[in-house]
Amino acid sequence: MASIADFARAPAPTYHMARPPKTGLMDWLTTVDHKKIGILYGLSGLFYLLVGGLEALLFRIQLAVPDNDFLTGEQFNGLVTMHATTMVFLAVMPIIAAISNYFIPLMIGARDVAFPRMNAFSFWTFLFGSLLLNSSFLFGGAPNAGWFGYAPLTGSQYSGSGIDFWWTGLAMLAISSMVAGVNFIVTILNMRAPGMTLMRMPVLVWMILVIQFLLAFSFPPITVGLILLGFDRTFGTVFYQVSMGGDPQLWQHLFWLFGHPEVYVLILPSMGIVSEILPVFTRRPLFGHHAVIFSGVAIGFMGFGVWGHHMFTVGMGPIADAAFASTTAIVGIPTGVKIFNWLGTLWGGKITFPTAMLFAVSFIPMFTIGGLSGVMHSSPPIDLQQHNSYFVVAHFHYVLVGGALQGLFAGVYFYLPKITGKLLSEKLGKVHFWVFLAGMNLTFFPQHFLGNHGMPRRIYTYPADAGWNTDNMLGTIGVILMATATLVMVYNILTSWKKGKPAGNDPWDASTLEWMTTSPPPVHNFDFTPVVLSERPLWDHKRTPGFEIPVPETSESIHMPSNSWRPMLISVCILLIMVGLLTHLWPLCIVAALGIVAGVYLWVTEPA
């Protein structure tokens, strides 16, 4: 019977590069290798996960007891705004980008992404944007109008310079995401290995493809919204100023037209990861593979038609409310299809529970709880009570922590051995899982009660007689548990990276292409281009006679992209434009804009 050891027989390929490769720090700064960029995204995401967690810990200390004065209202508003902005844009999205970057080319049998330099540009623009956003803590205070920054509170007469850092930083993140979206759409549609038809693509690749379309089409509305906000604040325009004929509701529509698809950007990759992990540890194929893919695509499409359910309290009128209530309820159908297909995968399998599987399995009920409370919000009579209350806080944390983040944790334990070549400690992994699961439920489940008992979100203090004391104390204890668990994970990653057990090529006996190459993979990923014969190429190679992946006798000749500092040059120029807008240094903006023109010229004329 064939085994993955067969692949070692392939002769080593020969390289062609335009320039000799760089080494050390210079290599990391100028890299265009999707794997290195993936690692950079992953480390940044992990760092910001800790930052966002620390912010949550601080405001949970404030909320632990009633009438507390650990933080002022202004500081509290800054921390909740930065917690949400950080977790969404700087932690979860970059960790998704890390997994997409590292694994999409490996999973589709490609050498790199379609546009390696654009990929580097996405990363540096993200990193500089995130630093700009966080530098607000040092220069005049964090943004404090909430992560959805409703106008006119973000206007210059109501909010300080934090909002300037917020809109410029987010605008850079939006540029980064849109560029990445285009890059990955082209990569996935064009660079699959021979034989990998769309329906043979792993579910994770499908979900990443769907979210790239969501990124490419949902970030333009918020970018427009942010630029209008920037014009209002910087040049005194009145897009959101009622007294001059502007309309604050314009912001809400632009924001949620982005904001709802964004929620699916955060959750769909985790659904993809769970769909990859469950079959591996049940030893059978994903139940209803095609149904899972189509329901993911359906969720992505519907994501653009439901934004109004964030605005039922605004007074859009009963017709609009009814329309958005109906479209929102329909999203429940494909979501239910996915959940039952995952259960169908478990049913009849032979299940083992390494840490990756624990997170993947616990994703199912935790996400289901978040999904079911979401069904409540689709109904305006219920939502009018729950909107902006702690019930909604409970809902989206079950989706984003119980769902998205647990899925990504599963991904860390499952995929990191491919990146580092070392297995993570299962013992520490299980401590991480159980402590995190307990902390999460301790924090967020009682918040359903807090919402039903009338506690609005984003209040920095509350009276002792409102009946909210116990649930808030439980929430603070839960956050401490979650923080501890996350530190255990970080320790686990660092120690295993240094001295973990070697993982080998295929530690989980998996079925997709990324496990046929070495851990970590060589710079060119595969010594030869694999030919894909089924939707489980590696599984069938190992077990199904007639489906062995052919190993060529002759050496392949590979053209690899060379290091380039042009992507970072353009990112720096964009950062300088934003700094110029912040400081009203117009000459800096002009010089930086000319720098972008020069950078693009150097980029297109650079031999690749």
Partner 1 sequence: MHTDAAPHRPSPSLATWLIACLSLLGAFALSGCDKPTRDVYQPVADSAEISAWFYHLVLAVDAVILAIVVTILVVAIVRFRKKPGDEELPPQSFGNMKMEVAWTVIPTLIVIGITVPTLGGIFELARKPDLNQKIIEVEVTGKQWWWEFDYAKEKLNTANELHVEVGTQVILNMTSADVIHSWWVPRIGGKRDANPGRRYPFYFRPYQVGTFDGQCAELCGASHALMGTRVIVHPKTGADSYEAWVAREQQQAQKPATPQQEAGQKVFMTKGCVACHTIRGVSELAVGARSRTSGPNLTHVGGRTSIAARTLPMTAQNIAKWVKNPQAVKQGALMTNLGLSDEEAAAVGAYLASLK
**CB under 8 A: which stretch of 101-109, 135-143, 450-458, 491-499 binds partner 1?**
450-458
Cβ 178 to partner 1 shortest distance, Å: 28
Per CB under 8 A, contacts with partner 1 among 29-58 are: none
Residue 17 binding partner 1, by CB under 8 A: no
Residue 456 binding partner 1, by CB under 8 A: yes
Residue 25 binding partner 1, by CB under 8 A: no
CB of 438 or CB of 591, closer to partner 1: 438
Between CA 393 and CA 458 the distance in angstroms is 10
Furthest CA-CA distance within the chain: 79
Cβ 434 to partner 1 shortest distance, Å: 6
Residue 12 binding partner 1, by CB under 8 A: no
Between CA 41 and CA 182 the distance in angstroms is 18
Q: Out of 200, 233, 418, 542, point to the residue binding partner 1 (CB under 8 A).
A: 542
The footprint of partner 1 on this chain (CB under 8 A) covers a number of residues equal to 123
CB of 361 or CB of 568, closer to partner 1: 361
Cβ 252 to partner 1 shortest distance, Å: 9
Residue 333 binding partner 1, by CB under 8 A: yes
Cβ 361 to partner 1 shortest distance, Å: 7
What amino acid is encoded at 195 in this protein?
A: G
CA distances from 237 to 156, 240, 294 (A): 11, 8, 44
Per CB under 8 A, contacts with partner 1 among 359-398 are: 361, 364-365, 368-369, 372-373, 375-376, 378-389
Cβ 320 to partner 1 shortest distance, Å: 10
Over its C-alpha atoms, the chain yields an Rg (Å, rounded) of 24
Q: How far apart, in Å, do the first and last CA atoms of the chain sit? A: 42
Residue 518 binding partner 1, by CB under 8 A: no
CA distances from 220 to 128, 184, 233, 255 (A): 20, 17, 20, 10
b (16+ CB within 10 A) / e for 411-423: bbbbbbbbbbbbb
Residue 461 burial (10 A CB sphere; 0-12, 13-18, 19+): middle
Structure tokens given for 318 = 């009963």
CB of 369 or CB of 576, closer to partner 1: 369
Residue 520 binding partner 1, by CB under 8 A: no
Residue 354 binding partner 1, by CB under 8 A: yes
Structure tokens given for 371 = 């999904």
Cβ 384 to partner 1 shortest distance, Å: 2
CB of 217 or CB of 547, closer to partner 1: 547
Cβ 523 to partner 1 shortest distance, Å: 22
Between CA 15 and CA 111 the distance in angstroms is 12
Preceding peptide of 502 cis, ω within 30°: no
CB of 260 or CB of 310, closer to partner 1: 310
**CB under 8 A: which stretch of 12-20, 131-139, 190-198, 424-432 binds partner 1?**
424-432
Q: Out of 325, 532, 577, 582, point to the residue binding partner 1 (CB under 8 A).
A: 325
Residue 314 binding partner 1, by CB under 8 A: yes
Q: Out of 234, 509, 551, 600, point to the residue binding partner 1 (CB under 8 A).
A: 509
Cβ 297 to partner 1 shortest distance, Å: 14
Q: Is the dihedral of CA 126, 128, 134, 139 positive or negative?
A: negative
If you ran DSSP here, which 8-state letter would residue 405 be given?
A: I
Catalytic site residues? 83, 112, 147, 176-177, 260, 262, 264, 275, 309-310, 335, 338, 457
If you ran DSSP here, which 8-state letter would residue 304 be given?
A: G
Identify any residues that bridge with 502 across adjacent strands, giving them in sequence order: 422
Residue 318 binding partner 1, by CB under 8 A: yes
Which has the closest alpha carbon to 256: 310, 220, 305, 219? 310
Between CA 13 and CA 528 the distance in angstroms is 7
**CB under 8 A: which stretch of 83-91, 197-205, 266-274, 313-321 binds partner 1?**
313-321
**CB under 8 A: which stretch of 192-200, 201-209, 441-449, 554-562 binds partner 1?**
441-449
Q: Out of 236, 454, 522, 550, point to the residue binding partner 1 (CB under 8 A).
A: 454
CB 240: neighbour CB atoms within 10 A? 25
Residue 606 binding partner 1, by CB under 8 A: no
359, 337 Cβ separation under 8 angstroms: no
CA distances from 384 to 177, 312, 313, 414 (A): 33, 7, 6, 41
Show the binding pattern over residues 106-145: x = contacts partner 1 (CB under 8 A), - = does not. Answer: --------------------------------------xx
Structure tokens given for 513 = 């292409």
Residue 551 binding partner 1, by CB under 8 A: no
Residue 548 binding partner 1, by CB under 8 A: no
Cβ 514 to partner 1 shortest distance, Å: 14
What angle do the packed helices 248-282 and 93-107 form, to 10 degrees? 50
Q: Out of 470, 559, 584, 597, point to the residue binding partner 1 (CB under 8 A).
A: 470
Between CA 197 and CA 531 the distance in angstroms is 11
Show the binding pattern over residues 403-422: x = contacts partner 1 (CB under 8 A), - = does not. Answer: --------------x-----
Per CB under 8 A, contacts with partner 1 among 278-297 are: 282-285, 287-291
Residue 350 binding partner 1, by CB under 8 A: yes
CB of 153 or CB of 585, closer to partner 1: 153
CB of 182 or CB of 291, closer to partner 1: 291
What are all long-range contacts of 340-348, with beta carbons under 8 Å and residues at least 24 apart? 341/286, 341/287, 341/288, 341/291, 341/292, 342/274, 342/275, 342/278, 342/287, 344/287, 344/288, 345/278, 345/279, 345/282, 345/284, 345/285, 345/286, 345/287, 346/278, 346/282, 347/287, 348/284
Q: Out of 195, 305, 336, 552, point to the residue binding partner 1 (CB under 8 A).
A: 336
Residue 329 binding partner 1, by CB under 8 A: yes
